[in-house]
Chains A and B, each alone.
Chain A
């Protein structure tokens, strides 16, 4: 049992109500209810609408996942849930449900980190993560480079965006081009018919004196918007496909370049790419190309596992059980700004026998 724990994971940090069930690194069920269509007319996720939708979808999604997995809840070895980071009210619905479920079934509860879950989900696709793993996480809420010697208790931030997340930039450019929300999929589609070299948009923080692993997409966003406005002001037609392709190229160029550099600098021969933007076809292709050239093995889960889902939370929960990490207690709270270094939220009285690891966790910014 300890090698292949059966775990149900709940994810409600943003606009997807996700419930996944895994046995060790095997995916048994991945049920997702999304409120994205309701948010589309607002051009972004509205927290209160997301929270209301989570409450409605929570129990039906749990029941659907159990049915899909064909298991009995009594057989579970644990319940895991995204404790943060994310939207406070949205997280609270999932955390409350997970606590009630764990309590009712008398199972251990694991409050886990959303970002670490995005990395761990790849175990369901490509087997156990190499240690350490380098991870590039890109979505509407985050853009980070993380070094993970142990996904259950040692994740180190190497760099992150200093302004907008990569996915946010896609949404904003889509809005400027009147393409609707969310922007990622539509820009990806149009870019396929455009020329990525048509317009030379800037690559943020790519100078020799810039921080090596941080990202910035705000300047790029402004520059693209300005270029479009200039065309419109001159009464010219905006070449939407070329703009989409050139903008997308600027984003994925910086992301992949910095990720590959981090792998080389840290001597890591694996790169994991996750988060909603990892569903972008050009990001996947360019990462593949550059990793191959650098002799790095690329691991990208299928698009459905890159976006937010419960399976990723279950995957990390199963790893917590397998490695004997301490469970959370019933006071577990949702923490909208849970730091990425807190891979999970052990209960107040829990001990981790792995003290050596804790102490050796150096802060890479100091």
Chain B
């Protein structure tokens, strides 16, 4: 088994290769505006570091978000295209689950919550019983509206760090790393669990307004 994992749902562009037992190579860069430019060179670097070619990959794993739209799609379309070109399965994982798993690897015990930056003064978040077990569906909300229900819980991720008044016990890691995502996927696949389809979790409707009647141009 050789998993290639990518995630572009947060400001991080992260890629990892995992052989079913451990992470073989990994790359993480934080640049919210350059997902499109950074992802493929990162994949190339990670494969080169591991000394393998892309066609050795048996499974592609991708973070499906939730995440701000434009960057999120870079990872998803890249994973889907690899899957099609290589005829290998593409598995989706919730990006928040990857962050929770990374926090667990760093020693955080449950319960806790994960929050990433959703922009527009909101966070994407979910609550976890422990680092492998999500207790709520991912959602998008204003930090102030969550402060009460998450009171007393450590909150992991950049979404927590950004809003210290709402999340006084904010923790790292701030961004997801593909190594954690790959490790979680390897664990779930080995246990015969179903992963998600590689489809985006936007959690918001597209901004689209039906134009009002056309503007009258005759001067009144």
Contact = CB atoms under 8 A, between A and B. Distances in A.
B206 interface: yes
B77 A93 contact: yes
A100 B81 contact: yes
Contact of A104 (B70, B86, B206, B218): B86
A344 interface: no
Nearest to A74: B85
A330 B208 contact: no
A331 B38 CA distance: 7
A58 B199 CA distance: 12
A152 to B, nearest CB: 24
A96 B214 contact: no
Contact of A43 (B40, B80, B210): B210
A96 B73 contact: yes
Contacts of A101: 81, 85
A55 B211 contact: no
A103 B207 contact: no
Contacts of A209: none
Contacts of A59: 77, 80-81, 83-84
Given A42-B211, A55-B73, A225-B217, A97 B78 contact: yes
Contacts of A259: none
Interface string A196-211: 0000000000000000
B36 A92 contact: yes
B218 A230 contact: yes
B76 interface: yes
Contacts, number: 114
B218 A229 contact: yes
Contacts of A226: 217-218
Contact of A63 (B41, B77, B82, B84): B84
B217 A331 contact: no
Contacts of B86: 104
A172 B82 CA distance: 41
A334 B36 contact: yes
Contacts of B167: none
A204 B86 CA distance: 54
B210 A41 contact: yes
Nearest to A100: B81
Interface stretch (A44-52, A250-258, A304-312): A44-52
B69 A51 contact: yes
Given A175-B214, A176-B214, A48 B208 contact: yes
A229 B217 CA distance: 8
A62 B84 contact: yes
A229 B34 CA distance: 48
A51 B43 contact: no
Given A55-B200, A225-B217, A230-B218, A89 B211 contact: no
B36 A103 contact: no
Interface string A229-272: 11001000000000000000000000000000000000000000
Nearest to A49: B206
A333 B218 contact: no
Given A52-B202, A229-B218, A92 B73 contact: yes
Nearest to B211: A43
A337 interface: no
A11 to B, nearest CB: 14
Interface in A84-108: 88-89, 92-93, 95-97, 99-101, 103-105
A105 B36 contact: no
Which of B44, B216, B218 has most chain A Cβ within 10 Å?
B218
Contacts of B39: 96
Interface in A51-70: 51-52, 54-55, 58-59, 62-63
A217 B124 CA distance: 45
Most chain-B Cβ atoms within 10 A of its Cβ — which of A95, A96, A229, A333? A96
Interface string B20-61: 000000000000001011111101100000000011000000
20 contacts: A42-B210, A43-B211, A46-B206, A55-B76, A59-B77, A59-B81, A92-B70, A93-B77, A95-B36, A96-B40, A97-B78, A99-B78, A100-B81, A172-B214, A222-B217, A225-B218, A330-B41, A330-B44, A331-B41, A333-B36
User: Which 5 pairs between the two chains have the least Cβ-Cβ distance?
Assistant: A104-B85, A48-B206, A100-B81, A46-B208, A330-B40
Given A104-B54, A104-B55, A334-B36, 8 more contacts: A42-B209, A46-B207, A46-B208, A54-B73, A96-B74, A97-B77, A99-B78, A229-B218
Interface of B: 34, 36-41, 43-44, 54-55, 69-70, 73-74, 76-78, 80-86, 200, 202, 206-211, 214, 216-218
